[in-house]
Structure 1
């Protein structure tokens, strides 16, 4: 026993970096810089076992940390910390933040270290975890926007609250990368941009102009698009939308307010492509793309750019827009976009002082065949873009058939206004004629003293879901809004028409009880469903809001379920030795802690060894 104890202590005191001799790291398709000046770089990917692997590379030779925050704040955050001591031994631990000054190690260690390396410049930590662990101190990885926290120090004295720390919103549940798609051998680019537009000194401006699409003699496909933002205007440009115009449309010239005095600048409502704050380039899947060059395809588009000049800066010139990539190498299907959600109009309102307020917009596809002029084939949805303004906190779209909910089409319950991007579906979703699409948006207006109405301004609100699908049809949008007169009457307000109903909402004294009454009335009210085609034909019908059933959460998993005995031994050896009291420990105290930790690890090693001998 004494020999075994001594041998165990020697092995523990000279644990080398466990990365040596390990197989090559897995291929991680997705990546992003997480901190300023490219100090922190993250790569990640998801495997078929619902395990997500991360590689964190940090410009330091000290400790590094990575984790998830509930909504961007520190308390409640799920943090993993690691590094390499000067003697080459490593430390790695799953922790959580209790409050603004307390970091504790989790009793259940649910992150598995794959490798940890350090050179003269970088510390690189490769690890993985289940999307949902059974530890209440670990946050789930979901289809919601993740609030990531990264931190690091200059040495191996872990001082999490004193180190450099960054936060960033990122969508992790990606299923396809641009590198997964095949690039055509022949392609061309074409810019749809404004030309030196003088941005007015206004908080919100919608600038629109009409631009011809590339003139091609035969059918081509637009397979990719990307934003082209004038340098230094990235915080000014809120979103860019490209709408297809019907070929029978008579279009104005020049640049004007999209929704101002001249209604012609609001013509064309079929979204082709779009970009919003935080988005990047997007490439369609190999089987589908946007068609141009045939008699059925648009020849002109409406370019819409929404500017948010909150600081009222003068003299701003902008030439932003969208760059499209098109090719004669055709795909199997033609892509289209269906705009769903709440019709953007003041009949949509959000009371002030609301912790959480839900609004609904209904689409009933039963009239699609008639509006399309021919039977509409099934819609195969492969991607989506969610959109609200500043008070939006969540967006969810559900699908119904014959009155029964089939499931959730897409959702983000931690919506971030600064990260609006096109996201892939995990699997192609089919919408059949007659199905209903219900969009629910959750808003928070604790910082507002007045009612928020639906409208184009950034301080107004929207609730939209753009569904990218194939094969295309002529339907451009299908959106709903509640019967405002019903809501007014429930709230005991007198109103005889829509405008009086809207004004009545603005005159109410709002409190928690009134807010909940209004939310319930808006859900119970008849929905007016407005369906519009690419040629600006519109038809209204009525519908009712159904309940959205939230699916059960996936089963949780312990990391130990996937580890062998040798893996468990390694995980035990890698517990962080200096988390508790590390903010103020002296060198002597830290050595004592390390000695105590090593003693505990010896007993753990002996126990595991005895299990192996048995």
Structure 2
């Protein structure tokens, strides 16, 4: 491992205060997370979407150097890492760097991180800095609303030596919008637990356990405004997802616990998701203007609780009582929340070839029949939040909206999807869906590690392509899923097609999956006629057909030019630099300038006093 010694990469000190920079040394940062299993590395952060600036504060239990940056899915090479620390004589060093290989750091030509403070005491080294979402330096990873893989590292002293024992990568939604404070709960808040009790997890790779449970019994309308998972200690790694489906009040429901999609079809009744949690998720609170309605004749009285277990180690004798805790109140919101499931029908007709570096699947939804199937007029749907879901091969998802044959917007996306981090996320602003709009879900998969076909299905080693949209006001449509004409796909691949879809799947399984055939299959799936299956909460189903429209890529915004260092001409964005000063509305703060060593010594007393204000308890 290459060892590089700190020789004061950049000596920085505090200059006179100036107005404008957001998230200064003492500003409270709204978000926080431990980045390591031992709770030694603690990150706080906040951001300004308008100015496209993010502020980090990294606090590590060490007297050595600390570093924070962004890495990618596959390798740490090329990761950016902002490093800093306090030398034994009290001088501060700080530098914007990148990894040229797995062990070696090199300073960026363009210094795009602005230091807001560095302190060291008997317990912690704390570094606070800001940086643009997208700088003009190709060595800096863009910060987007996608899943970001945050890299943190530290040393035991001021010798910059990377150690795998002290380097951690954690997936985080850095730009996740959160409008609610978990401490601000209605005074009459009540809770209701939906859980499977003492269920013996089978010694199988995948189990879908289902049971039917009543919702809270109330004598007038209430709103569920928040939910959170209830996980049994030590069982967290085995619980893949938990879904709550609303049942139509005319449904005849079975008792007990059984396999959801086994021999008894009654345990797969009820298909309208109202609450969903998946691995890596936390609690979620609905927007202030909407909640899930209970207590009226039109509201569901029973639900189907589905818990998906992944017992890959085939452990025997493990009992579980996982579920969902609901928070509800009589303080009503303006609207009732609904959930619309979009994507590709979860069935083996959805296939992904082996050895694919990238394979796209598409699921089309056409809303023109929604009102007819709803049985009553439908208001425009205001989408407030979303949950993305694939299994292990999933790499990226997006939902795109079309109106009158033209692409309107990308509703939501994640180009860096992580199976281990699935949370319901708020949109920055509600998105309006009108009757007649088309919605397209695109999922990208990678199967380089697989030598056989991957089919759509419920097992974790099968695949899904689903996006759940949380919207208001509620209607009776529960899902709108698409799938390709498998006969035409087989023809395009030069295979003898059968009228039996399952026989065609066997034919596809025998295809020699060269890169040419993989791309041919992807093109055939996209260009074939799609069947769109629409389902209501009362299990009414109607099909229509449509063609997959093209997706026009969203252009990247302009980069923010650094105030220091160099930017090579080829690094400039086609949209040009956004060279205005990096200031934001909000509190005043201090700016840091690069000063000669003599000036640092002169200011050292002031520096120590000001930086000491940064230190806060974890």
TM-score normalised over the length of structure 2:
0.88
SS in 1 for 2:594: helix
Kindly indicate which of the two structures has a greater share of residues assigned to helix.
1
Greater alpha carbon shift after TM alignment, 69-78 vs 447-456: 69-78
Where do 5+ consecutive residues of structure 1 fail to align? 1-11, 575-597, 603-614
In 1, Cα distance between equivalents of 2:395 and 2:185: 36
Q: Which residue of 1 aligns with 2:66?
A: 64
Q: Which residue of 2 aligns with 1:34?
A: 35
**Maintained 8 Å contact 2:65/2:160:** yes
Q: Which residue of 2 aligns with 1:506?
A: 509
- State how many pairs are aligned: 566
Where do 5+ consecutive residues of structure 2 fail to align? 1-7, 19-23, 564-578, 584-588, 602-618
In 2, Cα distance between equivalents of 1:285 and 1:334: 11
TM alignment of 1:331-346, pairs within 5 A? 331-346=333-348
In 1, Cα distance between equivalents of 2:384 and 2:281: 17
Q: Which residue of 1 aligns with 2:401?
A: 399
**Maintained 8 Å contact 1:383/1:425:** yes
In 1, Cα distance between equivalents of 2:121 and 2:349: 60
**Residue 323 (structure 1) aligned with residue 325 (structure 2):** yes
| Displacement after TM superposition at 1:54 (Å) | 0.8
| Displacement after TM superposition at 1:178 (Å) | 3.3
TM alignment of 1:55-454, pairs within 5 A? 55-71=57-73, 73-161=75-163, 164-179=166-181, 182-454=184-456
Q: Which residue of 1 aligns with 2:524?
A: 521
Greater alpha carbon shift after TM alignment, 456-465 vs 552-561: 552-561
In 2, Cα distance between equivalents of 1:29 and 1:376: 38
SS in 2 for 1:514: helix
Larger RCO (CA under 8 A, 6+ residues apart): 2
**Maintained 8 Å contact 1:153/1:163:** no
Change (3 A) 1:460 1:55: same
**Maintained 8 Å contact 2:14/2:591:** no
**Maintained 8 Å contact 2:247/2:272:** yes
Change (3 A) 1:298 1:25: same
Change (3 A) 1:563 1:292: closer
| Displacement after TM superposition at 1:156 (Å) | 1.3
SS in 2 for 1:235: helix
**Maintained 8 Å contact 1:61/1:118:** yes
Look at both structures and tell me which one has the larger radius of gyration over its CA atoms.
Answer: 1
SS in 2 for 1:37: coil
In 2, Cα distance between equivalents of 1:265 and 1:335: 25
| Displacement after TM superposition at 1:329 (Å) | 0.7
Over aligned residue pairs, what C-alpha RMSD do you find?
2.3
TM-score normalised over the length of structure 1:
0.89
In 2, Cα distance between equivalents of 1:319 and 1:195: 4
In 2, Cα distance between equivalents of 1:73 and 1:24: 33
**Maintained 8 Å contact 1:152/1:163:** no
**Maintained 8 Å contact 2:54/2:131:** yes
Greater alpha carbon shift after TM alignment, 151-160 vs 15-24: 15-24
SS in 1 for 2:489: helix
Q: Which residue of 1 aligns with 2:594?
A: 572
**Maintained 8 Å contact 2:114/2:592:** no
| Deviations 1:518-561 (CA, angstroms, capped at 9, x unpaired) | 00000000000000000000000001001111111010002325
